[in-house]
């Protein structure tokens, strides 16, 4: 079984400032890691995923995340946010043998202000 | 290409009534998943279909919930009778089979309110 902890429920940030959303996980098996975003009144959209290989993963809209196996973390970063990045962000994990069955964190609400 | 569509987008029902949620996956996607987010909590897995077969229903809360996917196309999730704690947002997702490099595409969700 896996579990995911998103350490911040809400992150206020000014436009053009950097943002980091923290995610830690625990698992007894090998995992795949994901970040999803939910914009207001929309469904969940995949930002990026880590399956294997390079621990630095680049996603859409300028986001990137780094997998750290020793710290069991998968933090999401963006060097300069826009107003349009206001959304809720979800970290998720799945076992490598059941990759479609996702265990989500509680979500982090990012509010970008001018 | 149409994405995953869910119907209705919102539903308000009284305790004890029956509600049926529908999910149309992306055409050709054999995998279909249901998830639920109860207010203030994380999104939780409910079950997974591969075509018309239930692959994993370990997340279904109780026997008041019945999911079907006749013909391996669209899926329905029926709640009968609904209880107050069933309120939340129900998400459906679909994906191709056998491709770990693909992704699960989510619908916009159905917001269910039981009063």
Give the burial class of B14: count Cβ atoms within 10 A of its Cβ; 0-12 exposed, 13-18 middle, 19 or more buried. Answer: exposed
User: Contact, B36 vs B43, CB < 8 A?
Assistant: yes
pLDDT for position A2: 85
- Label the pairing between strands B10-13 and A108-113: unpaired
A49 touches chain B (CB under 8 A): yes
For residue A44, list chain B residues with Cβ-Cβ distance below 8 A. 43, 91, 93, 106
A53 touches chain B (CB under 8 A): no
A43 touches chain B (CB under 8 A): yes
pLDDT for position B101: 56
User: Where does the pLDDT of residue A98 fall: very low under 50, low under 70, confident under 90, or very high at 90 and above?
Assistant: confident
pLDDT for position B39: 86
Beta bridge partners of residue B111, listed in sequence order: B10, B89
User: Which DSSP category does A19 fall into?
Assistant: E
Q: How far is B59 from chain A (nearest CA, A)?
A: 10
Which residue in B has a C-alpha nearest to residue A3's C-alpha? B42
Q: Which of A88-102, B42-56, B96-110 has the lowest mean pLDDT?
A: B96-110
Which residue in A has a C-alpha nearest to residue B105's C-alpha? A45
User: Which residue among B48, B101, B109 places its CB closest to the CB of A43?
Assistant: B109
User: Where does the pLDDT of residue B96 fall: very low under 50, low under 70, confident under 90, or very high at 90 and above?
Assistant: confident
Q: Do A45 and B106 touch (CB under 8 A)?
A: yes
The mean pLDDT of B52-58, rounded to a whole number, is: 93
Which helix (H) or strand (E) segment is A88 a member of?
Answer: strand A87-95
Whether residue B40 is predicted with pLDDT greater than 60 in this model: the reply is yes
Write the pLDDT tens digit of every residue in A19-71.
999 999 999 888 899 999 999 888 899 999 998 889 999 999 999 999 999 99
Exposure of A5 in the CB half-sphere (CA atoms within 13 A): 8
The mean pLDDT of B30-56, rounded to a whole number, is: 94
Residue B40's CB is within 10 A of a number of other CB atoms, namely 9
User: Which residue among A46, A90, A98 places its CB closest to the CB of B43?
Assistant: A90
User: Which residue among A49, A101, A103 places its CB closest to the CB of B103?
Assistant: A49
């Amino acid at each position: 079984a896996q579990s995911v902890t998103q350490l911040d429920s809400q992150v206020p940030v000014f436009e053009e400032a950097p943002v980091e959303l923290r995610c830690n996980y625990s698992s007894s098996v090998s995992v795949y890691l994901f970040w999803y975003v939910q914009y207001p009144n929309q469904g969940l959209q995949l930002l990026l995923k880590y399956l294997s290989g390079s621990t630095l993963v680049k996603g859409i809209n300028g986001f990137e995340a780094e997998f750290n196996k020793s710290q069991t973390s998968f933090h999401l970063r963006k060097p300069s946010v826009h107003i349009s990045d206001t959304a809720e962000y979800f970290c998720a994990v799945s076992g490598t043998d059941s990759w479609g069955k996702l265990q989500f964190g509680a979500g982090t609400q990012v509010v970008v202000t001018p | 290409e149409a994405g995953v569509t869910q119907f209705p987008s919102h539903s308000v029902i009284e305790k004890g009534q029956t509600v049926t949620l529908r999910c149309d996956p992306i055409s050709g996607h054999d995998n279909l998943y249901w998830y639920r987010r109860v207010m203030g909590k994380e999104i939780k897995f409910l079950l997974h279909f591969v075509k018309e077969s239930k692959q994993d229903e370990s997340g279904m809360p109780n026997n008041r919930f019945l999911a079907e996917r006749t013909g391996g196309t669209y899926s329905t999730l029926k709640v009968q009778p609904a209880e107050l704690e069933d309120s939340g947002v129900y998400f459906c997702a679909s994906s191709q089979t056998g491709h770990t490099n693909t992704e699960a595409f989510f619908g916009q969700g159905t917001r269910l309110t039981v009063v």
